[in-house]
Amino acid sequence: MYSIRNRLSYRIIIAMILVLSVMSALLYYRVAGHVQAVFDQAVYDKAQALISLTELDEEGLEFDFAEDGVMLEFVDGQDQQYYQLWEAGGTELIRSPSLQEHQLPMPGLTLGQHRFDDIELADGRAGRMIAINFMPRVEFDEEEIEDTDYQLPEARPIVMVFARERMSLDDTLYAVGWSIFLLNILVIIFVAALIWQLVGRGLAPLSNLARQVSGIDESNLDARLSHSGEQSRELAPIEHQLNHLLERMQSAFEREKRFSANVAHELRTPLSELKTLAEVGRMVPEDQEQIAGFFEDVGDISSQMEKVVVTLLELTRSEAGLLQNEPEDILLFDYCEHIWRHAVNGSGREKLLINQVPRNLVVHSDADKLGMILSNLFINAVCYSPDQAEVKVRTVERDGRLALEVQNATTDLKPEDIVHMKDRFWRKNKAQEKAGHSGLGLTLVDALARIMQMDIKLDLDDEGIFHVRLAGLQVTAG
């Protein structure tokens, strides 16, 4: 795992080193070139001075710079300089006394051409030379020209090589190079530290976010990410989405906890009944009547627990997508009567079903699931309606869709209860609940309806009549 701060800092620093190095190199070559040009210009000027002191007159070539005491730097001393001149054909004309028996190289040049070069001087020092091919200046007396017998010597090109030491140039270039290098190192160190700080400061909101996120676990899902000061445009959507995710996770955790607590609660009472029956039953083995009653209770408790477990399994299967919609043609009137007889009749709650479904109406639906839905709705209608109340089932058309509606009068249902009625384990009053009602019926009905691509709508009208509408019936005939 890498650190964004480290990686970002390192990459910026490396890029900066590269850029600074290239710039330093360019600067060095630029400065070195300039210094060398200045140096060469001085060499050139000196060579031009020597050329200007070279003249051709009636007596031949004269080299005024070679006269004694004129230019001592060519004779001897600490900072000796050198020259050597040749005429065309390579005949040496003159050399500086400082050269003694040594030679300067004579490059081949055309007239007017000059060339610089690095050489090793006669005394072993590094030097810089310039070679120039020039025509000597002709110097004559006008009175002598009028004499017709006067013959001017013929001017011929001369090659002159002037050389001087270049240690001062090299020292300067060395100093410039080191200065640039040291400055470069200092700038890199300073800027690297600055980058480290700035990147760290720039990533502080991210670090803050990471610190907050790593502090969140299942025990504090109610925590929300926050920031101080102005929020960055990049992090705002992340923080928003994470907070949204936390909200959903908290909600899911609470729902899960609530569900587990509800399941545990639903099973605790029948379990304690079973346990007490077993323990007390052992105390009265001789009381056959009592024992028989206990066994009857055990049977009832088992049925109640089985119903809860089966309903939970059906719900789990429906949520896992394991239940398929398998529609078939159903004669709805007869099917309602059939379900009513099986679900309600014989349950000890004798109430009347008013079946207003058209007798010849055939719908295309999943018979098993529709049966489970109707069974739950009928049992609820019977259990939660006043004594002697009727349960009505009919078809209605709403928004162009055919719906099957079950309606019954209620005892203590309030409009605000409607939104909770599909919640798992919701009951109007858990304590007043009749045995066998776990509060899962309408949850299961809703889940089954979704599989059948139908909608369940619950409604309580002003007269206290509760309506459950199962919309989306597909009519085949009738």
Partner 1 sequence: MKVLLVEDSERLQRSLSTGLHKHGFAVDQAFDGEQALSFVAVNDYDVIILDLMLPRLDGLSVLSRIRSDGNSCHVLILSANDQTADRIKGLDMGADDYMVKPFSFDELVSRLRALNRRQSGIKNPQIEIDGVTIDSVSRQVKYHDRSITLTPHEYGLLEFLASRRGRVFSHDQLIDQLYDANSYVSRNAVEAHVSSLRKRLKQSGAPELVKTRRGFGYLVE
Binding residues vs partner 1 (CB under 8 A):
261, 264-265, 268-269, 271-277, 279-281, 283-284, 290, 293-294, 297, 300-301, 429-432, 435
Q: Least distance from C-beta 275 to partner 1, angstroms?
A: 5
Which lies closer to partner 1 via its Cβ, residue 98 or residue 262? 262
Q: Least distance from C-beta 410 to partner 1, angstroms?
A: 17
Residue carrying structure tokens 């059948």: 452
Which lies closer to partner 1 via its Cβ, residue 189 or residue 435? 435
| DSSP 3-state of 31 | helix
Q: Which residues contact 233 (CB under 8 A, 6 or more apart)?
A: none
What's the distance, Cα to Cα, between the start and end of the chain in Å?
69
Which lies closer to partner 1 via its Cβ, residue 30 or residue 258? 258
Q: Cα–Cα distance between 458 and 18 in angstroms, integer? A: 73
Which lies closer to partner 1 via its Cβ, residue 228 or residue 432? 432
- Helix or strand (DSSP H, E) at 93: strand 91-95
Q: Least distance from C-beta 223 to partner 1, angstroms?
A: 21
Q: Least distance from C-beta 302 to partner 1, angstroms?
A: 12
The β-bridge partners of 469 are: 405, 457
Q: Least distance from C-beta 348 to partner 1, angstroms?
A: 14
Backbone angles phi, psi at 398, to 5 degrees: -135, 125
Edge-first strand order for the sheet with 328-331 is 328-331, 362-365, 475-477
Positive or negative CA dihedral for 333, 339, 345, 350? Answer: negative
| DSSP 3-state of 364 | strand
Which lies closer to partner 1 via its Cβ, residue 35 or residue 277? 277
Q: Least distance from C-beta 415 to partner 1, angstroms?
A: 23
Q: Least distance from C-beta 297 to partner 1, angstroms?
A: 4
Tokens coding 57: 């007159």
Which lies closer to partner 1 via its Cβ, residue 301 or residue 393? 301
Which lies closer to partner 1 via its Cβ, residue 270 or residue 371? 270
Q: Least distance from C-beta 412 to partner 1, angstroms?
A: 12
Report the alpha-carbon angle 418-421-425, nearest 5: 155
Beta carbons within 10 angstroms of residue 471's beta carbon: 18
Q: Cα–Cα distance between 312 and 307 in angstroms, integer? A: 8
Backbone angles phi, psi at 81, to 5 degrees: -125, 165
CB distance 405 to 356 below 8 Å: no
Which lies closer to partner 1 via its Cβ, residue 40 or residue 300? 300
Which lies closer to partner 1 via its Cβ, residue 239 or residue 273? 273
Q: Cα–Cα distance between 463 and 350 in angstroms, integer? A: 23
Beta carbons within 10 angstroms of residue 163's beta carbon: 28
Q: Least distance from C-beta 274 to partner 1, angstroms?
A: 8
What is the pairing mode between strands 126-134 and 158-165? antiparallel
Beta carbons within 10 angstroms of residue 8's beta carbon: 16
Q: Least distance from C-beta 298 to partner 1, angstroms?
A: 9
Task: State the DSSP code for 477.
Answer: E
Which lies closer to partner 1 via its Cβ, residue 203 or residue 298? 298
Which lies closer to partner 1 via its Cβ, residue 275 or residue 420? 275
Q: Least distance from C-beta 287 to partner 1, angstroms?
A: 8
Q: Cα–Cα distance between 233 and 175 in angstroms, integer? A: 49
Q: Which residues contact 9 (CB under 8 A, 6 or more apart)?
A: 192, 195, 196, 199, 200
Positive or negative CA dihedral for 67, 71, 73, 77? Answer: positive
